[in-house]
Amino acid sequence: MNRSYRKSELAALADVSYSTFYRYLKSRRKILSKLGCKLKAQTLRGEALAFVCRDYNITLPPEDPEPPKKHVKFR
């Protein structure tokens, strides 16, 4: 997973409120800190994101295969 997700996005994908999702993350604080994620961080990525998705059973939307191309003028 190359993309990072904001905690609020993950809460919406899990169909719970942000405060409920934050309480869940607080209960997994030791595991997340070992994976290199701070509780106060706004985004999750890498192993921490994979762990949360697996543990909370969150299905992420498929990644875009190719980012949109910029106009020639803005390259």
The domain segmentation of the chain, as residue ranges, is 1-75
User: Are the beta carbons of 54 and 14 closer than 8 angstroms?
Assistant: no
Rounded to an integer, the average pLDDT of 9-30 is 94
Which candidate, 10, 1, 8, places its Cα nearest to that of 47? 1
> What pLDDT sits at residue 43?
93
Q: How far apart are CA 39 and CA 29, in angstroms?
A: 7
Is the pLDDT reported for residue 14 higher than 80?
yes
Rounded to an integer, the average pLDDT of 49-69 is 83
Q: What is the pTM of this model?
A: 0.77
